[in-house]
Each structure stands twice: as C-alpha cells, then as structure tokens.
A = this chain, B = another copy of it.
Amino acid sequence: MFRPQIKVVDCTVRDGGLMNKWQFEDDFVRQVYLACSEAGIDYMEIGYLSSESAFSRDVYGSWRFCAEEDLQRVIGDDEKKIKLSAMADIGRIDYDDIPPKSESSLDMVRVACYVHQIDAAIALAHHCQAKGYETTINVMAVSTVGPRDLREALDDLSQSRVPVIYLVDSFGAFYSEDIDVLAKHYMDRMPDKTIGIHCHNNQQLAFANTIAAIINGVNYLDGSLYGIGRGAGNCPLELLVSFLKNPKFKVRPLIEVIESHIIPLRKKIDWGYFIPYMVTGMLNQHPRAAMAHMESDEKECITDFFNQTICSIDLV
C-alpha cells in the first residue's frame, strides 16, 4: 500500500521563516526537530544556507544562515535520527561559505532557482555535491513558465548530476490536473531523475496536489506542520503523513508539537487560507501583494484587495 521510495521533507522552519524572518526561538526549532525525528520524517529543512555577508543577523534569525553552531544548538548531544536540509538561493551564498560535509551537520542542500537561473543552479548543486552533500534543484514559479522555456530547463536538468528535481507551485495556482500534466512532463523529460513536489495552499489544494503528485510517481514530498509557510502556507505535514499509511511514520508526535508550539505561533502569524492569498493564487501571481495587505491595517478589506489586484482581468 505504501511506496518505500517516498521521502517526506518537513519545511516548517525554512518556509515558515519567510513569515517571521526566521526569528524562531531555539526551543521551537529543537521541538520541531525532535517531533519530526520521532514521527519518522526523512528530512527536516531547517532553514536557508546564506552567507553572513548577504543578510544581517540583527534582522534575520539563525535559520537564515544555518551555521554549524546554530545547528548544534538544535541537535544537542542525542543521536541524530533525521537528515537535515538547508535551502540555498542563487546569489545569496558564496561557494567558499559552504563548509565541506565533513564539517557540517547538514545532509542535503536544496538549490532554489527560477527557470532563467538553471545553469547557475546546476553549478551550485554540483559544487555542493562535490563537497559531499545530497542535492536537489527546486525550480520555482513553474506556473509562469512557458512550454519552450520549461522543456529546455528540464532537458538541462536531465543532463546534470543532480538526482532530485522539484516541481514547485510557488503561487498556489495549480489544480490537480496541472500537477498530473506537469509531473508526467517532468518524468518524460528527465527519466533518470527522482521528482519532488512543493505546494502552496492558496486555493486549499496543497494537500490534494501533493496526493496527485504521489499518484503520478513523485517521490519527494514537502510538507510543514499545520501547513506553516509563506502566505497561505504549504501542504500540512500531519495530513500527508496520515495519508501515506506507511508504518514508519507516526502522526502523534506531529500533533503534540502542533499543540505545544505551532498553535501558539499561529496566534501571532497569519499563515493559511485567507482571501488575499486565494486571489493571488487564482490569478497566478506572486503572494507578495497579499502578504503586504495581510500585514497592513486594512487586512480585512478584502474586497479592496480583490479590486486592486484583479484590475482589468475579466473574471469579475
């Protein structure tokens, strides 16, 4: 009933940090780490790998950087039972600032890129591989990429040594039919690669689209606790694990940490389904305008946001 090749990646701290500049207390990150470990999650993506010169620690929390001393505070002295991942953005990490795997508690580096950055992403991922890390490339905002550009990007990726390529619905714009078509396209153009999926929940479809990807043979699955993530958030990890029916996964540790750490945070940060995020999702737009609206005093003036955003699009 379950597929042993499936790997689940928790993005709670990495994607959730896009909502609070990674200003999580160490205890929060450690409890997420312990819960994911106990739940049998394969990877915890603990933040971004960034050069200290690219961001200020006065503004951004530790998980914008993922320095080894930051990681050590979370791991502590116990046996490490879960692999750790960090995401790297093109241009925000100098090659020289990436330690060799032998000096890091990270196991995987996931390189995020837009389609025009594919060559730079492959070069960075190859560099990380040479330093000893597992790697993936996560091609963002595919919902805005035309068919010729996408085909060329996938062919380039197919030629690379990077083993896992992610289909990313950055804007929460896809319906499951889109996932069906794209997952098949990814596998047709890159028959030797493992495909991953990362969804956003603008239209309450992140979980459904992740299931659609599973049915189509996608094996790396991103989720986050209670769906925390940028804007509308991600596929809820607790739903994903309960769907997978794989005895190696346990739901209870996830529910415990949702109770103790995620619900209290949810009272301070508004991720999830809100109309401004629905509007950018249905219009296939970046959520930044919706996020700015949600942070403003006019947060509940959702008709104004709809009117401003839809402009001349004839959907009203």
Contacts and interface: CB of A to CB of B under 8 A. Distances in A.
A316 interface: yes
Interface string A225-237: 0100000000010
Nearest to A239: B203
12 contacts: A176-B211, A203-B239, A203-B243, A204-B204, A204-B206, A208-B208, A236-B273, A251-B315, A251-B316, A252-B306, A258-B302, A263-B302
A255 interface: yes
A31 to B, nearest CB: 13
A10 interface: no
A177 interface: yes
A128 to B, nearest CB: 34
A179 B227 CA distance: 24
Contact of A176 (B176, B226, B239, B275): B176
B207 A243 contact: no
Q: How many copies does the complex hold?
A: 2
A222 interface: no
Interface of A: 175-177, 201, 203-209, 211-212, 215, 226, 236, 238-239, 242-243, 250-252, 255-256, 258-259, 263, 272-273, 275, 278-279, 282, 300-303, 306-307, 315-316
Contacts of A226: 275
Contacts of A307: 252
A259 B204 contact: no
Contact of A175 (B205, B243, B272, B273): B243
A289 B201 CA distance: 27
A195 B255 CA distance: 37
Nearest to A301: B259
Contact of A177 (B206, B215, B278, B303): B215
Contacts of A211: 175-176
A255 B238 CA distance: 30
A139 to B, nearest CB: 23
A256 B303 contact: yes
